[in-house]
């Protein structure tokens, strides 16, 4: 069945560098615990059960779209569904976040990973959720698909959860460069198939989250993270063409990768998403005119009084300009933020 016609294409226009009537805006983690309707829903359903049940994932994806005048939706899921598809156990613990109780410790643990992964078998539930959500959106806004990038997933798989230093995963890069490459290559293969499957299922833009880039410097990033980021873009586009599907814009968010903006801008992505520590004007100079920038309001600006938040948003837009720009936060929204402040953010962006 054909998908409903898209009524609001601001996000896609901005990603392709076309003129927009208003600046498109969406929010990382826009479906999340700051919304009372999300907390109510989560009290009844386990996190990964929601991810694995297309009706539930679609419902949660739509919550912020019903409440706000957003210009994009992002499929409700998590980057850690890939380690799960490779046979690792991932739990979402309240107040802690994701925990992998049996992490990779030594290179011989790579043998435990179940690969190659048949993504239709192991991650078909995400594809079904995407297709269902495209229908339920009724063309209101485009649907974003996403994946974690290899280094970020490697970090979780070795650390067993979030950490302050990523020292265990970084120790692999220094001590076991060959095994690290093997793991990163294996993850790249899964991610390529996973993202192509999402396009096939109806995703209209893809975002790659390299959230753990902040732990690396230029040397390690260029050696281990960047080649995979570039390969994913190239291979996804090749496969999309082979399958006679329409190309979709691709975004990369390498959090904290100040040191790599120039290199990132050569990887073929249409959009580079910036965290709040980067200056928009400097970033524009460094990536050139032909890439769309996304971001980058400090999420904590949502704690400011309304007037001050509006000022911060105006200042940000003043620096980015209206062309080749998608407004967003510099990272995900926090659970204790006021849903009203998200409305202020969206209304202020749309007022330009
Ligand atoms: O609305 C959206 O943005 C789409 C859904 C989404 C989630 N996770 C839902 C989620 C997306 C795009 C992600 C990506 C993700 N997951 C990333 C990359 C982006 C980033 O934040 O850097 C990472 C690193 C993860 C891993 C992960 N999942 C962490 C670190 C946490 C704990 C964070 C927290 O706020 O506690 C999660 C859990 C998670 N993923 C939640 C949501 C809504 C909250 C869990 C809950 O409902 O109990």
Q: How far is the CA of 80 from the centre of ligand 1 (A)?
A: 9
Distance CA 350, CA 352 (A): 6
Distance CA 74, CA 68 (A): 14
**Domain residues for 250?**
10-350
Q: How far is the CA of 222 from the centre of ligand 1 (A)?
A: 26
Sheet holding 73-74, edge to edge: 73-74, 143-148, 205-210, 250-254, 271-273, 292-297, 325-329
Q: What is the CATH number of the domain that holds 85?
A: 3.20.20.210
Residue owning tokens 């339920």: 136
Mean pLDDT of 149-158: 98
In a domain, 337, yes or no: yes
For residue range 204-250, list pLDDT tens digits in order: 999 999 999 999 999 999 999 999 999 999 999 999 999 999 999 99
CA atoms within 13 A on the CB side of 340: 7
**Does residue 68 surpass a pLDDT of 90?**
yes
In a domain, 1, yes or no: no
Give the pLDDT band of residue 295 (cuts 50, 70, 90): very high
Query: In the annotation, is 347 catalytic?
Result: no
Q: What is the pLDDT of residue 327?
A: 98
In a domain, 2, yes or no: no
For residue range 298-349, list pLDDT tens digits in order: 999 999 999 999 999 999 999 999 999 999 999 999 999 999 999 999 999 9
Query: In the annotation, is 42 catalytic?
Result: yes
In a domain, 3, yes or no: no
Query: In the annotation, is 284 catalytic?
Result: no
Per the rule left: phi > 0, alpha: psi between -120 and 50, beta: everything else, 185 is alpha
DSSP H or E run through 148: strand 143-148
In a domain, 4, yes or no: no
Whether this prediction's pTM lies above 0.85 is answered by: yes
Which of 34, 68, 156, 325 is catalytic? The answer is 156
Give the pLDDT band of residue 101 (cuts 50, 70, 90): very high
Which of 16, 42, 235, 237 is catalytic? The answer is 42
Q: Give percent of the chain above pLDDT 90.
A: 99
Q: Quote the mean pLDDT of the chain.
A: 98
Q: Is the dihedral of CA 93, 156, 213, 317 positive or negative?
A: negative
Mean pLDDT of 146-175: 98
CB distance 188 to 232 below 8 Å: yes
In a domain, 190, yes or no: yes
Spatial CA neighbour of 257 closest among 218, 228, 308 = 218
Q: How far is the CA of 332 from the centre of ligand 1 (A)?
A: 8
Distance CA 158, CA 190 (A): 18
Query: In the annotation, is 338 catalytic?
Result: no
**Does residue 55 surpass a pLDDT of 90?**
yes
**Does residue 1 surpass a pLDDT of 90?**
no
**Does residue 294 surpass a pLDDT of 90?**
yes
Give the pLDDT band of residue 98 (cuts 50, 70, 90): very high
Q: What is the pLDDT of residue 157?
A: 98
Mean pLDDT of 42-51: 98
Count how many domains the chain has: 1
Q: Give percent of the chain above pLDDT 70.
A: 100
In a domain, 5, yes or no: no
């Amino acid at each position: 069945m054909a998908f409903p016609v898209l009524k609001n294409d601001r996000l896609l226009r901005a990603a392709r560098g076309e003129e927009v009537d208003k600046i498109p805006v969406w929010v990382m983690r826009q479906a999340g615990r700051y919304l009372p309707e999300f907390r109510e829903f989560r009290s009844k359903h386990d996190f990964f059960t929601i991810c694995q049940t297309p009706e539930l994932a679609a419902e949660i994806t739509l919550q912020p779209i019903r409440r706000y005048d957003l210009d994009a939706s992002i499929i409700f899921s998590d980057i850690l569904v890939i380690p799960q598809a490779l046979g690792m156990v991932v739990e979402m613990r309240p107040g802690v976040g994701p925990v992998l109780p049996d992490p990779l410790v030594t290179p011989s643990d790579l043998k435990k990973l179940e690969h190659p992964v048949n993504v239709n078998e192991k991650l078909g539930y995400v594809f079904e959720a995407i297709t269902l959500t495209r229908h339920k959106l009724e063309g209101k806004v485009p649907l974003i698909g996403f994946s974690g990038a290899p280094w970020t997933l490697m970090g979780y798989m070795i650390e067993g959860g979030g950490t302050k230093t990523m020292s265990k995963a970084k120790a692999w890069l220094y001590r076991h460069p060959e095994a690290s490459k093997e793991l990163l290559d294996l993850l790249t293969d899964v991610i390529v198939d996973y993202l192509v499957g999402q396009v096939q299922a109806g995703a209209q833009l893809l975002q790659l989250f390299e959230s753990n880039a902040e732990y690396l410097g230029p040397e390690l990033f260029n050696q281990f993270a960047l080649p995979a980021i570039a390969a994913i873009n190239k291979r996804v586009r090749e496969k999309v063409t082979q399958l006679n599907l329409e190309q979709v814009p691709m975004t990369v968010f390498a959090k904290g990768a100040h040191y790599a903006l120039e290199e990132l801008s050569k990887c073929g992505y249409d959009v580079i998403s910036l965290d709040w520590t980067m200056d928009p004007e400097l970033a524009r100079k460094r990536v050139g005119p032909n890439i769309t920038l996304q971001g980058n309001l400090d999420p904590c600006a949502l704690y400011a009084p309304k007037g001050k938040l509006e000022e911060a948003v105006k200042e940000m837009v003043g620096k980015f300009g209206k062309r080749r720009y998608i407004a967003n936060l510099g990272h995900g929204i926090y659970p204790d933020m006021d849903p009203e402040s998200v409305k202020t953010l969206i209304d202020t962006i749309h007022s330009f």
